[in-house]
Amino acid sequence: MSATDRLIEANRRFATTFDRGGLEAAPAMGVAVVACMDARLDVYRLLGLREGDAHVIRNAGAVVTEEVIRSLAISQHELGTTEVILIGHTKCGLEGLDRDEFAERLERETHAPRDWTIGAFDDVHQSVANSIAQIEASPFLSLAKSVRGFVYDVNTGTLNEVI
Homologous superfamily (CATH) for 25-162: Carbonic anhydrase (3.40.1050.10)
- Is the pLDDT score of 23 beyond 90? no
pLDDT tens, 37-90?
Answer: 999 999 999 999 999 999 999 999 999 999 999 999 999 999 999 999 999 999
- Is the pLDDT score of 15 beyond 90? yes
- Is the pLDDT score of 92 beyond 90? yes
- Look at residue 63 in the predicted model and tell me its pLDDT: 95
Q: Where are the domains of the chain?
A: 25-162
- Look at residue 20 in the predicted model and tell me its pLDDT: 80
Q: What is the dihedral of CA 95, 97, 103, 105, to 10 degrees?
A: -140
* Distance (Å, whole) CA 21 – CA 52: 10
